[in-house]
Amino acid sequence: MHILLLKEPRDGESGPDPYIKELASHGHKATLIPVLSFKFVSLNTLSDKLFQPEKHGGLIFTSPRAVEAVKMCLEAEERREEWNSSVKDKWNTKPIYVVGKATAALVQSLGLNPLGEDTGTADVLSRLIIEREDKNIPPLFFPCGSIKREVLPTALRENGVPLETLTVYQTAEHPDLEKNLKNYFTEQGAPASIAFFSPSGVRFCLEVVQRLSGEQLTQIKFAAIGPTTQDEMKAEGLCVSCTAEKPTAEHLAAAIAKALQYGFIKPVNWEEIQFEDSDASFNDDFLDDLHDTIQEGTSVHHSRDAPQDGEHDDHNSLTESQAFISALKEFQTLSGLPATGVFDEATKAVMNKPRCGVPDKEINLDTPVAPENSSASDTENSFSDAFNETDSNNTISDSSFGTANSSVDDIFNVNDTESVSNDTSMNYTDLNLIDHVVNNTSLNSSREIKTDSQMVNGSMNAHQSEAVRRRKRHLATLVSKSRHKRDLSETGYMAFSKQMLKWRLIGEGYSSQLSIEDQRYIFRLAFRMWSEVSPLEFVEDTRSPLEDVDIRLGFGTGRHLGCNQRFDGTGQEFAHAWFLGDIHFDDDEHFTAPNAGSGISLLKVAVHEIGHVLGLPHSYRAGSIMQPSYLPQESGFEMDWMDRKAIQHLYGGCNGQFNTAFDWIRKEKTPYGEVVIRFNTYFLRDGWYWLYENRNNRTRYGDPVALQVGWRGIPMDGVDAYVHVWSRKRDAVYFFKGAQFWRYDNENDQVFRQDPEGHRYPRLISEGFPGVFSPIDTAFYDRRDSRIYFFKNTLVYAFDVEANSLARGFPKNIRVFFPPVVSGDHPDGNIDAAYFSYTHNAIFLLKGTRFWQVVGSRDRWRRPFLPRNGLLPHKEVDQHWFDICNVHPTALKLTR
């Protein structure tokens, strides 16, 4: 297919453009049209400065084009000679800072020795400069482009490093842009996909592209190279089909190929994506995308024997494609198409009316719902909707998890349902039946049923409209139209109305294949997995009368456990479950323990069946644990993002207060021997902690973990604060609790009993930090001013680490130092946690289930009226950080 890339050709390199090459490998024909033109300016001034090295403390280059400007100044022969004979050596006595490898290579070609080529971003480079430079040097000279990137100048200015900037090139619209676009559309017609590489590219091209494509506009898949560009596209009203996960030819080509193949692509979470070395071909705007700081480390799986990251990914993608094919076949069967598993035109026609893949538009729930048998022609119907569609005119063929061969009438006979007035004959698969039961209130049991609307009202306040919107959005993609309908008619979803649920493996129903301990262990794990992603907690109850147990599990063969459904022997049906009720497993199946590598994973089947008990219907979405077909066992499988959102739609997100939250920073060596700075984010509550994966915006698979597993020697029941003093002279990690503090030995991963300075731990806070009164509420270290900020009641104490004393004027009232931006919206005092996030490059104050973001220099640069250190209006923690969910203490130490 034809793809239009709105970018400049890659300069200085031979051979085809990497983007064209990469797209060709996916079978697509790509064409470049340059969008921007560059004009060098002020070259005389630049030349003067270059030949006065003694007036400057060093040089900074953050783009290859700026180095090109220098080259232009050296074109005249006598200048070149003077440069080579003496000037370059004078510069080489000073630091020549560069942001990436491409710039470094060009700088070397001038005879200069670059420094910082591994920094990758302006932010990291500025930190390197601040580390190395004094306030008393002559100014560093920074030739740059006209599109301002304030990261580096702001950081240097704030830290008092003198800087002199000079604009040496200007960016403007390419003079032939419109002509080139016209020619392209005339010759090729509208392309299948158009990729933008910069916000200015969007601004310069959009109007012409819209005009030229006319009615075909909605057919074009628009792709973005990165989040800034994506945002600009959205702001201009374009529907973004995909965004490259990283700004490389490989990532962009993969995203476009997927968008073209499937019509949509999973939205990338842009709150946290890190970039590698900046690419020489990216223009200035793109560097805006590179604002990020240090890299988030990968999260090592803690306690469960999940595969290593690399393997894991391969495995996932493999499984995903198998899962995709299997889901596709299901969809084809349901749609009356030949079940080929091939995504052909007929299938596409059924599922694919073009629609935006990025879920950024709310589905209007007031829109009348289309007739349920019209899934092929419904305008709302998109690929993702279709996959979640449970067309109630068809019986879902639950070929392996559920009840494949039984006819609906046999099992779900409505009269039976009513006559059996207890809860035993309601099966999850038939949504009509659930409807029916709700509407007739024939569920005469002790089970508590709660409607969705109650839950939404109960768990959200008006000010949480963002969360409501988000949930509605998920609702739109998660549920079928028949469920929309119920939602509208206020019959709602059903879910347990309590958060603590009891379960038991019933004695007459043990499996003959696994030891009883193994069975119970596997069920504990299965419940824990739902607990990890929802506010529900599960506890095994072996004592209460059976009727008080919420979920009873048992194995049986043929006629079993007094159940009115027979099992069918080996194959086909593995298990069945009742909504808000019990689970039976067919013991004629070969159930195995996790990671057994053969048989049917009891864990996986149990997680699926528990999903039904909790209220989830089948999903035909690839990767979902709620797919009706059993997929061969993967070790380390987990709830994917949509499963998490589905259960949270029923039960709400997870909230609760934290003792502390922090980014743990350390230096790591890459396989190539480069030292990089990485961090991971941790949230601590009582004796547990979660590793937060910012790039996925969720907690690590398998968390929470007991505190002492991750941090050896700190108080087991929790800490008040974590502080990492990280300056040129010091690198020390402290935990605080009560009146004491501990220094942590990162190298040996345990607290110091005695540190290299001879201090023994625990020490008294009053000794280590004179002037600070213990116990403290929380604390954080601010690298920008080398101070630790301690919070206690309504006061904040700034402790100057270098001077080893309180900073002048402290303690201050928190309200004075962190004034509210909106009057009255302030935590006042008793802060739980103060967290400097490298992902967000911002400080957050957390209290209870809320947080306040502190206004940063960038906010103030954009909106100068904001007060310094002002607290932005509060939000709920679970609106910003997802899946930080408690598990029942009895399940805490389970490992998989």
Site residues for Zn ion per CB under 5 A: 401-402, 563, 565, 584
Cα 837-838-843 angle, rounded to 5 deg: 35
Cα 24-28-29 angle, rounded to 5 deg: 85
Estimate the share of the chain in helix, then strand, then coil, as percent rounded to the nearest 5: 35, 20, 45
Helix (H, G, I), strand (E, B) or coil at 421: coil
| Tokens of residue 73, six digits | 């100044």
Between 325 and 563, name the residue whose CB sits nearer to Zn ion.
563
How far separated are the first and last CA of the chain, in Å rounded?
Answer: 46
Give the amino acid at 531.
Answer: S
In the complex, minimum distance from the CB of residue 401 to Zn ion, in angstroms, rounded to a whole number: 4
Please name the residues in contact with 417: beta carbons below 8 A apart, sequence gap of 6 or more.
Answer: 425, 426, 433, 436, 437, 442
d(CA 144, CA 167): 5
| Tokens of residue 232, six digits | 């600009």
Helix H segments across 269-426?
284-289, 309-334, 345-351, 383-388, 408-412, 414-419
Catalytic residue among 245, 532, 609, 693: 609
Going by their DSSP bridges, the two strands 36-40 and 778-782 should be labelled as unpaired
Q: How many CB atoms lie within 10 A of CB 569?
A: 12
Please name the residues in contact with 271: beta carbons below 8 A apart, sequence gap of 6 or more.
Answer: 694, 697, 839, 840
Please identify the residue of the shown chain whose CB is closest to the bound Zn ion: 563
d(CA 71, CA 108): 12
Between 170 and 397, name the residue whose CB sits nearer to Zn ion.
397
d(CA 752, CA 770): 21
Backbone angles phi, psi at 789, to 5 degrees: -100, 115
Instruction: Assess whether 609 carries a catalytic annotation.
Output: yes
Give the amino acid at 892.
Answer: L
In the complex, minimum distance from the CB of residue 736 to Zn ion, in angstroms, rounded to a whole number: 48
Please name the residues in contact with 538: beta carbons below 8 A apart, sequence gap of 6 or more.
Answer: 500, 501, 502, 503, 527, 528, 530, 531, 551, 888, 891
Between 401 and 664, name the residue whose CB sits nearer to Zn ion.
401
d(CA 157, CA 167): 18
Between 397 and 565, name the residue whose CB sits nearer to Zn ion.
565
d(CA 190, CA 217): 8
The residues pairing with 712 across neighbouring beta strands, listed in sequence order, are 750
| CA–centroid distance for 768 within its chain | 38
Q: Residues at the annotated binding site for Zn(2+)?
A: 560, 576, 584, 608, 612, 618, 626
Does residue 600 contact residue 511 with C-beta atoms inside 8 Å?
Answer: no
In the complex, minimum distance from the CB of residue 500 to Zn ion, in angstroms, rounded to a whole number: 25
Q: Residues at the annotated binding site?
A: 550, 560, 568-569, 576, 582, 584, 586-587, 589, 608, 612, 618, 626, 720, 779, 832
Give the amino acid at 775.
Answer: P
| Tokens of residue 821, six digits | 């931006």
Helix H segments across 76-224?
77-82, 88-92, 101-109, 122-132, 151-158, 177-188, 199-213
d(CA 786, CA 226): 33
The residues pairing with 114 across neighbouring beta strands, listed in sequence order, are 96
Compute the Cα dihedral for 298, 300, 304, 307 and give only its sign: positive
In the complex, minimum distance from the CB of residue 516 to Zn ion, in angstroms, rounded to a whole number: 20
Please name the residues in contact with 683: beta carbons below 8 A apart, sequence gap of 6 or more.
Answer: 658, 661, 689, 690, 692, 881, 884
In the complex, minimum distance from the CB of residue 628 to Zn ion, in angstroms, rounded to a whole number: 5
In the complex, minimum distance from the CB of residue 611 to Zn ion, in angstroms, rounded to a whole number: 8
In the complex, minimum distance from the CB of residue 481 to Zn ion, in angstroms, rounded to a whole number: 20
Catalytic residue list: 609
